Each structure stands twice: as structure tokens, then as C-alpha cells.
Structure 1
Amino acid sequence: MIEVILLEDEPVLRQELGEFLEELGYAPRCVSSLQEFDRHFDAGRHHLAVIDIGLPDGCGLDLVQRLRQDGQKLGIVVFSARQTSADRIAGLGLGADHYLGKGCDLDELAATLAALVRRLGLQQQPASGQAPPAWTLEVGPRRLLVPDAPAVPLSQQDLMVLRCLMSHPGENISRRQIIEELGFDFLDYDQRRLDTQMRRLRRRVEDASGQTLPVKTLRSSGYCFYQAAQVRA
């Protein structure tokens, strides 16, 4: 799965764009400031970036320029409310591959990223012939064993959600299945609570292990754990 780093300071839009990228099959790392970008950007993992300009600690165009001056070859899409001709010319001149206004249809963002994937050859990696190591959920110790990374301690609810997903890797698990696994009535449950829990779980795994939790969001329907997985007591 192609990893994308998304820099957007507005919380609601950041969440919306992150979920949209997941639905497209990317693995997004969402950050809200230049400082956070510098802390989490990994040139070996992040091959695409979506960058806002107006940020609480500086200008996104300065970041674009710095990335290019450092020799970074990742695909860069500026996604900004500033969309005059002068703004677009400045962004492209500093090294952005594409410059989109925030008023554009998200399908245009999807097509732009797909074009970058093709141009950069990100889907043409040779197959190794070996299956990736499995992620392992240990129920008793209540922890997630991440391949080539530290184990992640889990809350009881995190454990229950992951057990529901990792017991059926590659399958689409509905929100109803997860909510009922948590012991709640689906019709009475505020599903925003599940969205919040999934965001916290992703962040916990990312912060503790440096790895992206391989869970894909299915629009309005559920989630899928898309890598090899096993559950053991």
C-alpha cells in the first residue's frame, strides 16, 4: 500500500481527507503543522505528499521548496484555498507537481494522485515472492505484535475491535459487527464513537511502532484489515 503524508491544519478537513485517501487504498499519515511534518516524514516510506499552504507555524510553499532542495523525489500535490494564478505559478515553480484548489471535486484529487503513482512507477515494484509477516494480536497480554517493530499495548476496547477485524483478514467487517462485538446495541450506538476510537487506535499504533495500521475504511459500511494477521491467546 502506498503511503501518503497529508499536511492540513483544519481538523475536520484533515479527517475527511484522511478517510478519503484510505478509501482510495492509500495509507495516509495526517499531520497538522510543519513541525509535525518534519517529525513524521520518512523519505523511505512516504512517496506522495498532499500539502496545505496556510499553516499555524509557517507556509507550506517553504516546505515544498525545502523538500526539493533536499533532493526528495516524492510526488507533491499542493491542496490550498489560495488558488489565484500567481499562487499556482509560485507553487509549481517551487517544486509542486500539481496545485489544486480546495474547492475542487475530490475525484480530481484522486485522479491527480493516480497520475503521480503512474509517473513515479509506484505500482511497478517487483514482487519478492514471499508473503509479508503477519501482524499478531495477543489476547491475553492485550498487545499487538507489529512486524519488525515494537509491540503495541492495547486498551480492552482496542483489543475487541482488532480481534473482530484480525480474525477475518482481507474481509469487509461491518460497523454493526464491530459495535455488537463491543457489546452495544447497533441502533442505539452513536457511530461517531467508533470513528473516534479507530482514529485513536491508528495513532496509538503509529506512535508506538512507527508503522501504519493496515486497516482500510469502507465508506459508511465498515473496515477491513488488509494484511496477513493472526489472533492468539
Structure 2
Amino acid sequence: MKVLFVEDEPVLIEEMVDYFSTQGYLCESASTYARAEEKIETYNYDIVIIDIGLPDGSGMNLIPRVSRSSEETGIVIVSAKNSLTDKLEGLNLGADDYLTKPFYVEELNARLHALYRRKMLKGNRHIIFDDFVIDPLSKTLSFKNKEISLTKKEYQLLLYFIVNKERVVSKPSIAEHIWGDYFDQSDNFDAVYVHLMNLRKKLNQTSGKDYIKTVYGMGYRFSAA
């Protein structure tokens, strides 16, 4: 899951990024309205966490921008103000949840999982295609009840394909989603190719089917029942 944290408190942003990174999230952050706006317009995220009180603007104004960028992106407001007016305004603008500071990162994590299941997985606790079952909570893949060993990147790549099933995705979009900002400085997509081919091989050897098709000159498409 790729998450953007929009927060200007250095201690809190460090705590959230450290915690959610250990939970397997791809974390990015922005401490100002301007930086958050730039990231939202440039990249795609599964979930955006927005603090209302930013030094150079209101986080409320970012909500419609996120919604316009991607209707599937989940939005969670975090604020020190436990105001019904703010809650209603944020939800009416398109936010999915509202959490009042201070909060436990474990509670935020539970809310993110619930939101991800509701928006990206359409409420399902497991993702099923043919005889494969993905458990997003344990981050595992099984085939006919036998677990298939995947690396972290292979698992992230498989989820990205599932969410974008039947769509053509390019190497740059794959790299940006899985490696985030850190891949911007490299024009070498060998790493994408290696992880993709390894995943493709494991799925093929297990089921006898080739789920990942190459669309020459454009990218790759994942097809499954």
C-alpha cells in the first residue's frame, strides 16, 4: 500500500513513517501544502493522510485535488481539532475518515486497512483469482491452500497488477508505485523487469497459466478470472 502523509509536525511524521514502513507500507511525506499539492498532482497513492493545519494552507483544500487525481484513493483527515463542523466539511469534500489528535499509530493502521479493503478491495478480506488467494492482512499468496513464497517487491507488484487488472501499466508507473520518489533519479528499469519476470515465473510454474502479458511498446497487462 502506497501512502502519502501530509503533516507538518516533525516528530509525528517521523513516528508515522517509521511505524508504517515496518508494516510494509511504501511511505512518502510532505510537510507543507505546496509540497503535498505537487506530490498529489505528480504521483498516485492508495491512501493520503491529511493534516488540516498546514503552515501555508488548509489541508481541506487538498481533499478535492486528491479526489480529482484518483477516485479510488482513500483520504483520512487527522486534526488536533475535535470539531463536528470540521468533520462534516471534510467528509462532504470527499474524505473517508477523520481522526483526532493525539492518536495511536496502531489505530490509524487499523483504519487504513479497513479503508483499503473498502475502496480498493471492494470490501473483500481476501483477493481471489482462479485458485490463488491473496490475504492482504498477512501479505501472503496461496494456491489451493498451499502458500507461495514471494519477496516483498513481488507481493507489492502482484497487488498493483490486481488493482489495475486488465489495464496496461508501464514500467515507469510500476517503478513509481513500488519505489516511490527514490526511483525518480534512475532511468534503469532492470529492477522492475527482474521482479516482474520472477513473479511471472512463479505464477506460471504454480498454475500453468501466464497471467502477465507484455503489451509491446506500452507495458504489461494482468488478466485473470
Cα distance in structure 2, aligned partners of 1:54 and 1:34 = 9
Contact 2:28 2:180 in 1 (8 A): no
Give the residue type in structure 1 aligned to 2:185. Answer: A
Greater relative contact order (CA < 8 Å, ≥ 6 in sequence): 1
Distance 1:71 1:117, change over 3 A: closer
Contact 2:50 2:59 in 1 (8 A): yes
Unaligned runs of 5+ residues in structure 2 are 133-147, 155-170, 173-178, 188-194, 197-225
Partner of 1:76: 75
Contact 1:43 1:72 in 2 (8 A): no
SS in 1 for 2:66: helix
Partner of 2:182: 205
Instruction: Give the TM-score normalised by structure 2.
Output: 0.54
Contact 1:76 1:98 in 2 (8 A): yes
Contact 2:40 2:65 in 1 (8 A): no
Partner of 1:34: 33
Partner of 1:64: 63
Cα distance in structure 2, aligned partners of 1:63 and 1:204 = 20
Structure (1/2) with the larger helix percentage: 2
SS in 2 for 1:49: strand
Unaligned runs of 5+ residues in structure 1 are 134-147, 150-201, 211-226, 229-233
Give the residue type in structure 2 aligned to 1:39. Answer: E
Distance 1:24 1:71, change over 3 A: closer
Equivalenced residue count is 146
Partner of 1:48: 47
Deviation at 1:4, TM superposition (A): 0.5
Cα distance in structure 1, aligned partners of 2:77 and 2:86 = 10
Q: CA RMSD in A?
A: 3.6
Moved over 6 A (4+): 129-133
Q: How does 1:41-190 map to 2 (within 5 A)?
A: 41=40, 45-69=44-68, 72-122=71-121, 124=127
